[in-house]
Chains A and B, each alone.
Chain A
Amino acid sequence: MKVFTKKLLVALFVLIIVISISCNTTKYNLHLTPVFNKDFEQPIGVDSLIVARSDSIMQYLFVDFSSEQKAKKLAKKAHSYLDQADSIWKELKQIVGDSAQLFSIDYSDSNTNVLAQSSDLIKKTRDNLQNSEKNFLQSIKLNPFPWSTKEGLAQTYVLWAKIENPEIYYEKGSNTFSDIVNYEKGEHFLFYNLGECYFNLKKWGQALKNYRQAEKVLLATTSFFSNNSHYQNSLKDSSKKDLYFTYLYSQAVCLARMYKAKEALATIKRAKKIVSSDKNRKIVERFEDWLNWDNGNIQAAEQKSQIIQLIKEGKYSESVSKFVALKNQLSDQFALDEIEWRIASLEFKYLGKKEQACNRLLNVVKKNEKISYYPPHLLPTYNKYVTDCGVMHFHLGMDYIQKADYKKAQQYLEQGAKINWYGNYKCQLELAKLNKHDPQTSLEIIESVLQTQSDLTDAERLSALEIKLGALKKLGPQYLNETKQIYHQIRELQKK
């Protein structure tokens, strides 16, 4: 029994030593272990332990020269296939327009149809990508050390994902980039590209982690040369600034996707501080507004976006009911106003509920007439509500005139004339026409229009003068001189 225990202990000890030796060896998760040329020359006159130790570690350091050269050739070939695929893809994008871009994100039937028109180009791209993948893989098998080869393979998968099976190829791309960043932690763009793969796979957490790492590496490596005259204040270098902006913006988008509005806003504010181009500034501001909608209720903002998409698809009733449902989730007055406005617009334009729409929008306008703290950047939105409200009332008034329901027309036009919108004089003109049997009222309305509106068109002015002429005639001879003047003005305008 004792002997057996002793043997067992010895066996365990040997096992531990073997494991510890194998663990001590510096290893990298390269997936593909390099294949050494087995016919290598045996060293003479060296300690066999040194040879064994060197041989054991060498597979993690380099490959033989001939494999290295073959791998280089294959990688070069693979890069050329990738370049060809990329240029065909660009050509394809020009043909199919932006839908090609969308295709990579939303793999919808409509985009498939668009791409089907360019099936030949797609086939060419696919062929090139297949060759590129094949050569990159062979190259990596021969020499797994240069990360540029692996990066080429990863880029092949990313491009491929834009053509077909994005889930599969972005997954492959992310795996390959992960491999690289395991042992190449000093290049920011590798982390960014990995983040992009995860983003496209909708793995927001992993995407965010890699975008953050990209930012960290960029900042750390930029300062490496800060003591050098060439690199003083390196972040003033516009290309690096743009990269920094991109990494921050991507983080903010990820955070938004994760419904972390506060963090997203904090990140986008950092991005705003360093933004250099007007285009990017606009993007940031728009995104900031989107994030701020309903006090950062991103889920609601997303629902809103989805409903807008439904509107584009012509699903108006569904949209209205969804907007109504959405209203219950909102807490911010401005967001509620916007939804009311959107519902009113749909009701008025597509659902035939014009009176309801006018009423809904008038409520919004009236409620906000008293609000003095309307945020300056939202004032244009509010003005739009007012205008739309005026327009709706005018059109509904006109509709009732056509239907000879003058009473209702009078009401809507009067309401339209009271709203402070740019076309309220049109309502007044129509009111003046409606009230032609009451010349005094008609004359007052017309004179108010002519005095306040200096930029009336000739037709509008002619129409106003004719109404005024009619009213003056009806008021009697004491207005003869004025009538003559109006008559002359009408004649002159008619001559024009």
Chain B
Amino acid sequence: MNFKLNILLLSLLIIYSCATDKFVKNTPVFNYHSIENFSLPGIDSSVARNAIQLSDQMIVNFNRRNEAKFWYDKGLNSFQIADSLWRIFQEKPGQDSITVHIYTTWRQEHDTVFQLIKIANEFNFNKLKEICQLILSTGEYEVNQAKHFNPFDLDIRSLLIKILMKLGEITQDTVYFAQSIEELNNFLLVDKSNPYIYEKLAECYYALNEWAQCYRYFHEAEVVLKIVSGFKYENNNMVYSSIDTMRWVYYLRGQGEAKARLYDSEKAIYYLTKGIELNNSIETKKQLQDYIDWINWDGGNIRAAEFRDEILKLENLGDYKKARSGYLDLYRVLKTQKAKSEINWKIASIEFNCLGKKKEAINRLFQTIQNIQKKNYSYSLNTVYLKDYAAMCYSLGLEYFNQNKYRLSYIYLNQASKFNWEHKAESYFYLAVLSHQNPEETILNCEKALACSDQLTEKLTEKVYEMLAVSYRRKGEFEIAQKYYDNLSSNEQFIEN
């Protein structure tokens, strides 16, 4: 019954396309048999005529099928080469034995391309793009030839869509995606039960940033996937019997992402969470969770998250002034304290490390940390903030030390020493240096420095021993002083004046 319905639909499609010239642009020039010469015994001539006329429009003769097969194979070969080349170079830029092997086989037929491949082997990405584009354009021509000879073959059409989408991916030219969408829509006229078609349509709309359509087709793909997977009862619950979970998750992810692009954070999180629930792969789960985190960065304020990404790009490009001003703008539109804290930390880092506004930076980060500590927010204090703050205090402390501003140096180093971070021991060391005139304070700081001695270099450790020896001597505790002098006695530089 289904088969008959399909045949009928296909016939209608062909008739419609012939009339509108939409479906098949390259209408095949069939090798019509003479109706008059074609009659079968026992069949009414009018029936036979109608059947022949219909079959001539629906069935491609053997020769044309062969011709089409020839071009299809060529097109498939071109697609595979371009695809593998693109993938290999994307994953592992550089020469690859498989690639070389493929080209060697291919060059016999495409000598010009081979010359370009040689250039590509010199690792020029733009040249590679050109090569891939050329191969794919060749493939497009070849598949179009195949389509010309056999317009009914769905594999040919499917390959054409693949090639067009790949061209779109490589060239970033939306025309290819538009063409793909056209082809895919035609496909849908023939078969609406294939989730793959909806998936590809969604991908094309994704590429064109048409998020509503993208969502629509990912959603359709999910619905169709569920329908075609069938159902069964398990513990009195209806479950999908043979659903491809990976694909399902992919559609959920697509929907989630599309919703995110439409700034519907609630829905987006709904789909992504569902994806996590279904998925078994840790890697995918992590990806989905990362995406949810990204959406939730400012309590679902996706525009802010996007804005942040844009500023990050500026920062990565080294445009720190613009990045800082961007972060300041972003700060005003943020909803959550957590995001505000992070942006303050970002601004402070730029100010301290790149713009020389050290005091502003240290104050900003300090206020941020204090806010978090005082106001008991639901989130815990990020240790990176503390470490960065400690590092800033330490750096400023040393700067003031070199400027002979002992008081400020002491205060900042003292502050830096209060955190557990990798230069804690050094902070204590410099505090000891600053307080060298007071043996008790020197001893206190030196012993604290030695408590995290794994952070001290051999040279600094010796310096600490020296200070301890001198301080204990000044205190009149000669036995302890002796212990530290013994550590130094092998070193010439510590000989008493």
Binding site for A on B (CB under 8 A): 359, 361-367, 370, 392-393, 404-408, 410-412, 414-415, 418, 434-435, 437-441, 444, 469-470, 473-476, 478, 481-482, 485-486, 489-490, 495-496
Contact = CB atoms under 8 A, between A and B. Distances in A.
A456 interface: no
A375 interface: no
A43 B366 CA distance: 12
A231 B485 CA distance: 12
A111 to B, nearest CB: 39
A11 interface: no
Residue with the highest number of chain B CB atoms closer than 10 Å, among A217, A220, A228, A230: A228
A50 B441 contact: no
B441 A60 contact: yes
B117 to A, nearest CB: 59
A62 B434 contact: yes
Given A50-B418, A62-B406, A228 B437 contact: no
Nearest to A69: B404
Nearest to B435: A61
A183 interface: yes
A185 B474 CA distance: 5
Contacts of A41: 405, 408
A62 B280 CA distance: 64
A183 B439 contact: yes
A43 B435 CA distance: 19
Contact of A227 (B363, B475, B489): B489
Interface string A11-45: 00000000000000010100000001000110111
A57 B405 CA distance: 16
B496 A43 contact: no
Contacts of B404: 65
Interface in A198-243: 217, 220-221, 223-225, 227-228, 230-231
Contacts of A231: 495-496
Binding site secondary structure of chain B = helix
Contact of A224 (B408, B473, B476): B473
A26 B441 contact: yes
Contacts of A7: none
11 contacts: A40-B408, A43-B408, A53-B414, A61-B441, A64-B405, A65-B405, A146-B437, A185-B475, A220-B482, A224-B482, A231-B495
A266 interface: no
A492 interface: no
Binding site secondary structure of chain A = loop
A216 to B, nearest CB: 8
A185 B440 CA distance: 12
5 A-B pairs with least C-beta separation? A185-B476, A45-B362, A45-B363, A186-B473, A220-B478
B260 to A, nearest CB: 37
Contacts of A247: none
B205 to A, nearest CB: 49
A: contact size bracket: 35 or more
B438 A61 contact: yes
Given A28-B438, A225-B485, A230-B495, A43 B476 contact: no
Contact of A228 (B362, B473, B482, B489): B489
A51 interface: yes
Given A225-B496, A227-B486, A183 B474 contact: yes
A65 B440 CA distance: 22
Given A26-B440, A45-B363, A217-B476, 15 more contacts: A40-B408, A41-B408, A44-B359, A44-B363, A45-B361, A45-B366, A55-B407, A65-B404, A186-B481, A220-B482, A221-B473, A224-B481, A227-B486, A228-B489, A231-B495
B438 A26 contact: yes
A224 B485 contact: yes
A62 B437 contact: yes
Contacts of B481: 186, 224
A43 B411 contact: yes
A120 interface: no
A36 B407 CA distance: 10
A314 B271 CA distance: 124
A223 B437 contact: no
Contacts of B365: 45
A57 B408 CA distance: 13
A26 B370 CA distance: 29
A223 B393 CA distance: 41
A46 interface: yes
B370 to A, nearest CB: 8
A61 B410 contact: yes
Contacts of B495: 225, 228, 230-231
A47 interface: yes
Interface string A136-179: 00000000011000000000000000000000000000000000
Residue with the highest number of chain A CB atoms closer than 10 Å, among B370, B393, B406, B411: B411
